[in-house]
Chain A
Amino acid sequence: MKICVLVKEVPDAAVEKRIDPSTGRMDRSGEKNLNPYDTHAIEAAMQLREGGAVDVDEIVAVTMGPESAVRALHKAVSLGADRSVHLSDPSLAGSDVAATGYALSKALESEQPDLVLLGQQSDDGECYTIGAVVADHLKMPSLTQVIKMDVEDGALRCERQAEYGYDTVSVALPAVISVGDAINEPRYPSLKAIMGAKKKPLGNVTAGDVGIDAALVGADGSRVQCGEFKDPPAKAAGQIIEDENTAETVEKIIAWLDERKLI
């Protein structure tokens, strides 16, 4: 079995995110990291390999993004992927979620995976959606927000929380599965794995290499036009207490609650 894991570079959680007023796009400069949800997807691939219920021949990390996105791939291979694919092309800049999903699906088509895994959301933007876009282009069944996944009779037995409780769904392969953060606890990469990450094969591909139709990507190929922003209604800032002396802090909380007749 060949598993492709979609990964993404996102601004580090500690960095303040903002819109670049000149382009109307998110300012993606500053400290970057591998999207934390994607580490769960890589770990899920590793556990399938180590679980023994199915032979995993190869785990390939795939990303789309500018040159700097290569760091997300290095992190991904340090966590266990065997090699990585970097789809990068100036024509892809400004793609909306539908165009991004299309471009990724073309990169995946060249890899012919039996299973595509990804994190259920990215820290910096699109929620829950990219997996379903990719799946429809690949003509594969898909399931998102999966918190438990086992191989059973050559298919995946997946569990997730849906609108009315927990659902258990059997998904035939090939398939696209996005995982929630409760599915596993990702391992920490060893120092050796971090050092060796840059030595693992990295393939650079352009839009033309994987047959992407230029009319369907980039800002011009995207069907959503963003770039107009406004401020939400202002909300009065709450009071903040730094706990230095817990007895005093608790006294203040009690007084605050008492004032509002909550005790």
Chain B
Amino acid sequence: MADILTYVLHYEGALNKNSLGAVSEGAKRAAEIGGECHAVVVGGDDLTDELCQTLGSYGATKVFRAQGPEGLAPPVIDVMAKVIEEHGHGYALFGGGLLGFEIGAGLAARRHAGVTMEVTAVRAEDGELVAERPILGDSKISVSHYRGGLGIIIGRINAFETSQAGEAAAEVVDVEIDYSPWSTQATMIQRGEQRGADVDIEGADILVAGGRGLGKAEGFQLAEDLAAAFGGSSAVAATRAVVDAGWYPYAAQIGQTGKTVAPKLYLAAGISGAIQHKVGMQSSENIVAINKDANAPIFEFSDLGIVGDLNKILPKLTEAVKAKKGS
């Protein structure tokens, strides 16, 4: 019998979808091991009683609420460590995303606990939780068992589905906390800044996505030309690496910290297919990849892979699509 503690991230009064997935998953697994699922929230006045109580519909019975800075991991580590110390939770569960990784790892250090990241499935086995994590480019699944009083599970993004089964409001418990000196040494100057033009990639049927293989910012012209040739509901998307490099706007980013898409056709040009990218597009109906490196991981999960120079292939493909559309 063990209770599960989750962390719920919020921004401007809305709860994070991956966090709600963690609460939903935690509630299901807690029921299997005879415990309850609880949640921790840290923030300001937008964490109203009403907002916190809604976590009950996802299966949380208690919500521990602390006043503190938002969007940074160390204060949350302090709060979760205190709640776990006082209530003896057996597991801490995170829905993935950058803060989940940071908090989970810091909590493992603080509480001398085991931590598994990029988890895609959690199971109950003999009254204990077991975490499954794909490794080696998703070619194997490693199974984690935990020793000691606390096991920490950090999900891969989108790994846990949200489900609103319950109706009861969660009990809200306010936590008084003295933050560790080092937890207040990082301060948010600006949060959630949007950079670049707004692009709608989530609604598109056809996405032409570009990565580092496009060579430079101007290389995106090739992707834009192809998307334009497809016409209709098509758009251009990008990997995190090229967005960070300033080649394409943030709003077009697919993957771990970007958007999750599932178009009818996902055409990846010059994208190697790192896990962080894969998690944002693997549900696409058809995946076509063009890459000059025959060993690129993307070929392992594409339906059609072309090993070749995209600078030669893309312009000709654009012409051929135009010709086909015109015929």
Contact = CB atoms under 8 A, between A and B. Distances in A.
A139 B180 contact: yes
Contact of A19 (B118, B136, B188, B304): B136
Interface string B90-131: 000000011101111110111011111110000000000000
B257 interface: yes
Chain B interface bracket (under 10, 10 to 19, 20 to 34, 35 or more): 35 or more
Contact of B183 (A128, A141, A239, A253): A141
A96 B243 CA distance: 33
B87 interface: no
A223 B146 contact: yes
Given A19-B136, A165-B192, A223 B148 contact: yes
Interface in A4-60: 14, 17-19, 26
Contacts of B139: 232
The binding surface of chain B is classed by DSSP as mixed
B304 A228 contact: no
A204 interface: no
A127 B117 contact: yes
Contacts of B243: 161
A168 interface: yes
A182 B134 CA distance: 26
A157 interface: yes
A216 to B, nearest CB: 7
A164 B11 contact: yes
B261 interface: no
The binding surface of chain A is classed by DSSP as mixed
A132 interface: yes
B140 A232 contact: yes
Interface residues of A, number: 81
Given A132-B105, A165-B195, A170 B250 contact: no
Contact of A126 (B117, B132, B150, B186): B117
B313 A136 contact: no
Contact of A247 (B137, B286, B316): B316
Nearest to A225: B145
Interface stretch (B28-36, B60-68, B317-325): B317-325
B308 A243 contact: yes
Contacts of B115: 96-98, 129, 133, 224
Contact of A142 (B74, B132, B140, B287): B74
Contact of B317 (A144, A162, A253): A253
B147 A225 contact: yes
Contacts of A137: 109
Interface of A: 14, 17-19, 26, 96-98, 101-102, 105, 125-137, 139-145, 147, 157, 160-172, 175, 180-182, 216, 222-226, 228-232, 235, 238-243, 246-247, 249-251, 253-254, 256-258, 260, 262-263
Closest 4 CB pairs of A and B: A243-B308, A182-B244, A223-B114, A224-B114
Interface of B: 9, 11, 16, 71-74, 77, 97-99, 101-106, 108-110, 112-118, 132, 134-148, 150-151, 154, 180-183, 185-195, 206, 230, 240-241, 243-245, 250, 257, 264-265, 275, 286-288, 294-295, 299, 301-309, 312-313, 316-317, 320-321, 324-325
24 contacts: A19-B136, A96-B114, A98-B105, A105-B109, A127-B117, A129-B115, A134-B109, A136-B106, A142-B73, A161-B250, A166-B192, A223-B113, A223-B147, A224-B144, A230-B143, A239-B303, A240-B299, A241-B305, A243-B309, A243-B313, A247-B316, A256-B304, A263-B230, A263-B324
Given A128-B101, A256-B304, A263-B321, 13 more contacts: A97-B117, A98-B109, A127-B118, A132-B105, A161-B244, A165-B250, A167-B71, A171-B185, A238-B287, A239-B304, A241-B306, A243-B306, A246-B313
